[in-house]
Amino acid sequence: MRVTLDLVLDCPPDAAWEAVHSPAVFRAVSGPWTRAESLEPGGFPERWPGGRHRVRLSLLGLVPMGEQLIDLGDETRMLRDGQVARIVHDRGGPVAGPMRIVRRWHHRMAITALPDGRTRFRDRLDVGAGVLTPLVWVGFAVFWQLRAAKIRRLAPSWGAQFAGRS
């Protein structure tokens, strides 16, 4: 099943692109509902370099949810309307603990420039958990809406936060 967001963000596209590559932003838009702890030597990098990174997730920092593999890759795609979309794919997914019931995972975040300098942010998660998929989908749909509120709130600060990085 699929969970989607289609938002207009008050930040430049380059800043949004850097934000979707930031472990700090990942943790900020996931919290306080979900907390992530890096399981890699040295902890979280300043910027996701692509490739694999293991994290331990907990609900509200109290209830263990298991381990997740974040497996990132970037793509640039020409859209039908002539726009260019920069897309981050996460093909990782849960690898241990209660979240392991999710057996199919593909998370995509697409960044597209708008004519007024703002950003169109499309966020799509495809998940599968066998017969439990509808129940899992409800949980992710609620989480995605909470996440959207945090993304909208934080996006105006990304221009200054990520200036000169793209």
Mean pLDDT across the stretch 53-60? 94
Alpha helices, DSSP H only, in the chain?
13-19, 23-30, 133-161
pLDDT for position 81 = 82
Q: Mean pLDDT, the chain, as a whole number? A: 94
Average pLDDT over residues 36-40: 95
Contact between 71 and 92 (Cβ < 8 Å): yes
pLDDT at position 102: 95
Confidence of residue 147 (pLDDT cuts 50, 70, 90): very high
Domains of the chain: 2-161 (3.30.530.20)
Alpha-carbon span 62 to 13, nearest angstrom: 35
Phi, psi angles (nearest 5°) of residue 118 = -85, -175
How high is the pLDDT of residue 162? 87
Query: Rounded CA gap, 130 and 67, in Å?
Result: 19
Q: Is the backbone peptide bond immediately before 32 cis, with ω within 30 degrees of 0?
A: yes
Q: Is 7 helix (H, G, I), strand (E, B) or coil?
A: strand
